[in-house]
Amino acid sequence: MHLLVVEDDARLRRLLGRLLSVDRHVVEEAADARTALELARMADGLDAIILDIGLPDRSGLEVAKDLRARGSSVPILMLTARDAIDDRVRGLDSGADDYLVKPFAYEELSARLRALGRRGRNGTRRTAKLMNGPITLDEAMREVTVAGRAVTLSPREFSLLECFLRHPGQALSRDQLLDAAWPYGVAVTPNTVDAYVHLLREKLGPAGSARIRTERGVGYRLLAPERTSRQERREGSGVEARP
């Protein structure tokens, strides 16, 4: 997607820019309302705008209203401070399509953007299911099954698994997993990631957990779907073969 991130907090803006680029989005960045409106005018093919409400020159609400007044229908995901319920309501009134309360985990933002992208193209939400071997994750229903067995995950475990499923076959560092599944600014150590991966593996059971490999010195890797059954047979891991 071609995205515009409007956020005056430089650290958060750069973090989002970096993470979204890794996910192959093309990202424009603006630190204030004036730049945002200029970029939105020039960049014709924007697929979505991530818009912080608290900006130094004008509020994000005014930016959204301005864009809609100009006839722009680009999906807007508003970022609002924790518990600022008035802001959420006013955000949607001003023409935003969705909002996210800070602090949020990157995977939450990523899921909202995908929903906006789907809505933008089809006018309706479509259910996205991520599958890998026996593991199925239904984003819309927030459900996970392993070989048909329902598994209950905490929100953090769910985000971790979602991150793995979105990057099959890729070695993910503990820092990458932290950025994806934990709200920014929350103090957690790489050991926390290890603890949560351990919990996730236990809940997924032998068949599911066999797919998450520890990458020495790096982090973790979810086996790519097309390689798995061959690799498992070769390694004689004892995991039952799957079609």
Binding site for Ca ion (CB under 5 A): 8, 52, 54
Cβ pair 128, 111 in contact under 8 A: no
Least CB distance to Ca ion at residue 14 (A): 14
Residue found under tokens 């600014």: 185
Nearer to Ca ion, 51 or 212 (CB): 51
Least CB distance to Ca ion at residue 51 (A): 10
Least CB distance to Ca ion at residue 54 (A): 4
Nearer to Ca ion, 54 or 183 (CB): 54
Nearer to Ca ion, 16 or 163 (CB): 16
Nearer to Ca ion, 81 or 131 (CB): 81
Nearer to Ca ion, 10 or 131 (CB): 10
The closest residue (CB) to Ca ion is 54
Least CB distance to Ca ion at residue 53 (A): 7
Least CB distance to Ca ion at residue 9 (A): 5
